[in-house]
């Protein structure tokens, strides 16, 4: 196995251009599992941890640009107020060790339907910045994730960063696991309120082949919420929102849980998280 460890982005892209089959590795928390389980035997590995740009984040054109190599631990400590939903999701990832190594770039690369970083990106209409020696392009995350463990990255491309607006209102993330830590989501739910635009983003994780936006639920609740006077949401409306989110699911039954439970649980999470987010909005936080 060949091992490349470039220390500049330029060089990394060149390696990838020359050897498109080389497997990128950052935290390695997915790649190493695949190697250990003998699911993959790459001829070449491209270690990106020495590329400084990937670990940087900053603000430009009203959005944040977060390098693909920013770890969950750093998102929690450095971006907690800018991206509260993503920070909450990051807190649910694995264990301290995994959060110290694992990155959002890696979560995008893996494109698992259970990827915890994904619903927060979906609800904020984030974009993924892909780069190759031929230039860069930005792809909306909904288009980037094309199926379970499939994404729109071309063989010669690498993920440079993601672009995401700073939170425009309360955000939430909740995840069901049968264990109280270190668990792959049985199902999950991400929510973002965008009061300026009177919009709500709602996304289910681990309840379909990819994360899915619950568009009907979003539209329903957007029309119901009393954005200006910040009035309470009725219980019926909360429940209806939960039901519509449940209807957006197309889950499977597997070792982690039944389809019926996933549908039920994601609806409960939707109802609860909306209640919390709306309360926060009402309190004017």
Ligand X SMILES: Cc1cc2nc3c(=O)[nH]c(=O)nc-3n(C[C@H](O)[C@H](O)[C@H](O)COP(=O)(O)OP(=O)(O)OC[C@H]3O[C@@H](n4cnc5c(N)ncnc54)[C@H](O)[C@@H]3O)c2cc1C
CA distance 172 to 89: 8
Computed from CA positions of residues 218, 222, 227, 233, in that sequence, does the dihedral angle turn out positive or negative?
negative
Binding of residue 102 to ligand X (CB under 6 A): yes
Select from another protein, ligand X, none the partner in contact with residue 276, using the beta carbon and a kind-dependent cut-off of 5 to 8 Å. another protein
Q: Is 260 in the site for another protein (CB under 8 A)?
A: yes
Q: In this complex, which beta carbon is closest to another protein, that of residue 135 or of residue 181? A: 181
Which among 23-31, 91-99, 128-136, 139-147 is the span making contact with another protein, rule CB under 8 A? 91-99
Residues 71-90 that bind another protein (CB under 8 A): 88
**Residue 100: partners with Cβ closer than 8 Å, 6 or more residues away:** 71, 72, 73
Residues with Cβ within 8 Å of residue 260, at least 6 apart in sequence: 253
Residue 65 contacts which entry, another protein, ligand X, none (Cβ below 5-8 A, type-dependent): none
Q: Please give the backbone phi and psi of residue 184, each rounded to the nearest 5 degrees, phi first.
A: -80, 140
Q: Does 29 bind ligand X (CB under 6 A)?
A: yes
Rounded CA separation 242/265 (Å): 9
- For residue 92, state whether it binds another protein (rule: CB under 8 A): yes
User: Segment near another protein (CB under 8 A), from 31-39, 140-148, 162-170, 227-235?
Assistant: 31-39
Contacts 24+ apart (CB under 8 A), 49-58: 49/5, 49/25, 50/5, 50/6, 50/7, 51/6, 51/7, 51/8, 51/9, 51/12, 52/7, 53/9, 53/160, 54/9, 54/26, 54/105, 54/160, 54/161, 57/161
184-207 core/surface letters (b: 16 or more CB in 10 A; e: else): bbbbbbbbbbbeeeebbbbbbbbb
Using the rule CB under 8 A, give the single segment among 135-143, 215-223, 224-232, 260-268 that binds another protein.
260-268
Query: How far apart, in whole angstroms, are the C-alpha atoms of residue 204 and residue 231?
Result: 26
Q: Using the rule CB under 6 A, is 115 a contact of ligand X?
A: yes
Q: Which is nearer to ligand X, 84 or 242 (CB)?
A: 84
What SS3 state is found at 232?
coil
Does 119 bind ligand X (CB under 6 A)? Our answer is no
Mask 245-284, x = binds ligand X (CB under 6 A)? ----------------------------------------
In the complex with ligand X, the residue whose CB is nearer, 94 or 169, is 94
Footprint on this chain of ligand X (rule: CB under 6 A): 23-31, 33, 48, 68, 92-94, 98, 101-103, 105-107, 109-110, 115-116, 158-159
Footprint on this chain of another protein (rule: CB under 8 A): 36-38, 88, 91-92, 95, 172-184, 186, 253, 255-261, 263-265, 268-269, 272, 276
């Amino acid at each position: 196995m060949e091992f490349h460890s470039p220390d500049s982005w330029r060089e990394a892209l060149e390696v990838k251009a020359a050897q498109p089959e080389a497997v990128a590795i950052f935290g390695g928390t997915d790649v190493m599992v695949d190697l250990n389980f003998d699911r993959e035997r790459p001829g070449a590995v491209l270690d990106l941890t020495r590329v400084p740009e990937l670990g940087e984040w900053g603000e430009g054109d009203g959005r944040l640009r977060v390098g693909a190599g920013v770890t969950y631990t750093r998102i929690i400590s450095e971006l907690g107020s800018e991206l509260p939903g993503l920070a909450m999701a990051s807190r649910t990832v694995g264990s301290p060790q995994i959060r110290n190594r694992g990155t959002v770039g890696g979560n995008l690369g893996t494109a698992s339907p259970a990827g915890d970083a994904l619903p927060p990106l979906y609800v904020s209409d984030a974009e993924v910045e892909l780069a190759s020696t031929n230039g860069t392009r930005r792809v909306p995350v909904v288009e980037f994730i094309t199926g379970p463990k499939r994404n729109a990255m071309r063989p010669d491309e690498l993920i440079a960063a993601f672009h995401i607006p700073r939170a425009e209102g309360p955000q939430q993330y909740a995840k069901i696991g049968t264990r109280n830590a270190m668990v792959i989501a049985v199902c999950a739910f991400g929510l973002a309120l965008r009061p300026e635009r009177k919009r709500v983003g709602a996304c289910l994780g681990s309840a379909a082949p990819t994360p899915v936006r619950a568009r009907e639920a979003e539209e329903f609740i957007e029309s119901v919420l009393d954005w200006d006077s910040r009035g309470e949401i009725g219980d019926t409306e909360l429940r209806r929102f939960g039901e519509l989110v449940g209807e957006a699911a197309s889950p499977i039954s597997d070792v982690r849980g039944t389809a019926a439970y996933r549908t039920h649980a994601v609806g409960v999470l939707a109802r609860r998280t909306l209640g919390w987010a709306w309360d926060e909005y009402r309190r004017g936080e």
